[in-house]
Copies of this chain bind each other. A is one copy, B any other.
Amino acid sequence: MNKINIKYLARELNLAISTVSRALRDSHEISPETKAKVFALAKRLNYQPNASASGLRAQQTKMIAVVIPDMVNDFFSLVISGIEKVTQEQDYHILLYFTHGDHALEVSFINTLVNGRVDGVLLSITDENANNEHLEQLNIKGIPLVLFDRVNERMDNVKVTSDNYESAATATKHLIDTGCEKIAYLKVDRNIPVGTIRMNGYLEALEKHSKQKSPLILECPNDNDEAFTVIHKMLQSEKPDGIFASVEKLAVICYRVCEQIQLRIPEDIKIISFSNLQTAALLNPSLTTITQPAFDIGETAAKELLRIIKKKGSAKGDVVLKSRLIERRSTSK
């Protein structure tokens, strides 16, 4: 269990430590023969430079922190995949933190990061209205920060988001255009700002394009069975002919309710839903979905962050990525 470090290589080859170091970095001031010898031994012993030492010396760790609410969630899984693609390409490493929606945890993580554990931070914040001294600390210490998806508009950092408002309006308009005259919006119970933004898009489209007298917004409990009950009751009493589900899970539950009360989709009622992994789409080939560019958000945010870290170009400029509306027709086989 010998430690293979530069000192060891130098001793083995009867060279100075600095010569080995330079050879490994392919410096032009080292003779080809020496380089060859060094490379050969390094390869044979599978030498890897010690990350702590390089990091200390260079004052950079080649690591970025990714701080998200949690992972049991298709959206963030895809975001991470996008981030990972970039870090892999650019030889960076990902440190992963979950806040579990707890603002205090977010603060604690960020505080951990202010002194050079990472070169930059990608954050989807827990509480868009909380104060953000901890984030200011990052700015003060010169640690680049890029916000994505759940951002704080008051912060001055680069933000990468998707068009929740516009795509919700588009989705609603799509239902209107295909003939729906009474559209219900299934809202998630949890206090997620994105839920409100999407709702506003729904409201705007209704107002602009529909003759529907009043919006029909249903708050759906987090518990599946309770949500089932609530949706069941609403469908019976209100008899909407269109449903806009703000998250995929609600679309799936709604689908089951329709089945039970023998509503045909899409003949009797049309459903459209935000959806990332397309489980809902498996249900019924006629279900239309709006897919957030989750992977792209991760990829873009990571690229922005690394760009700032490497001090190429400016550190300003927000990015809003477009969601895709995917219409499916019954591929009757």
Contact = CB atoms under 8 A, between A and B. Distances in A.
A78 B72 contact: yes
A50 B60 CA distance: 11
A189 to B, nearest CB: 16
A240 interface: no
B95 A63 contact: yes
A110 B155 CA distance: 38
A115 B4 contact: yes
| Number of identical protomers | 2
Interface stretch (A31-39, A134-142, A173-181, A195-203): A134-142
A175 to B, nearest CB: 22
Interface string A140-152: 1110000000000
A1 B112 CA distance: 17
Interface of A: 1, 4-5, 46-53, 55-56, 61, 63, 66, 70-74, 77-78, 80-81, 84, 88, 93-98, 111-117, 137, 140-142, 224-225, 228-229, 232, 249, 252-253, 256, 277, 279, 282-285, 331, 333
Contacts of A112: 48
A52 B116 contact: yes
A77 B71 CA distance: 6
Nearest to A137: B46
A183 B195 CA distance: 43
A6 to B, nearest CB: 11
B94 A46 contact: no
B52 A1 contact: no
Contact of A77 (B4, B72, B249): B72
